[in-house]
Amino acid sequence: MEELIIKGTDYSPEIIFSPKNHQFTISGMSRPESPFKFFEPIFNWIDEEGKKYLNNATIDFRIDYFNTPSAKMIRHMLEKLNVLFQNGVQMNIVWHYEDDDAKEEFEYEFAHDLGMKIQYAKNEQ
């Protein structure tokens, strides 16, 4: 499996998990019609390739908008990454945000009970 590239649409984010380019990015809008079906290849990649390729990697979350079903999938993805972290895979998670309210919502909804540290980067206006 090694590389996972999913082209973004108006409804689903672009996924670039490219070990050869040292790029791990999730970006764009996330409101796919079938969230689990969309995110399943990402979950599988993390399970099958994460230990091998994510050590010392940075994963950038640049999600402009996500609906409630996508939020559940993002949470599940972060939990999978957290399991890797708890098992010794050192990675940097960077959550890019628009404003302080969005950052606080992410911290409350997703980050408060994860064992790994999340870095925050405010988007330039």
Of the options 3.40.1340, 3.30.450, 3.30.750, 2.40.50, the CATH number for the domain spanning 4-122 = 3.30.750
Q: How far is CA 67 from CA 17, 25, 35, in A?
A: 22, 19, 10
Q: Average pLDDT, stretch 75-86?
A: 96
pLDDT at 1 over 80: no
Domain spans, the chain: 4-122
pTM over 0.75: yes
Q: State residue 114's pLDDT score.
A: 87
Confidence category of residue 110, pLDDT binned at 50, 70, 90 = confident
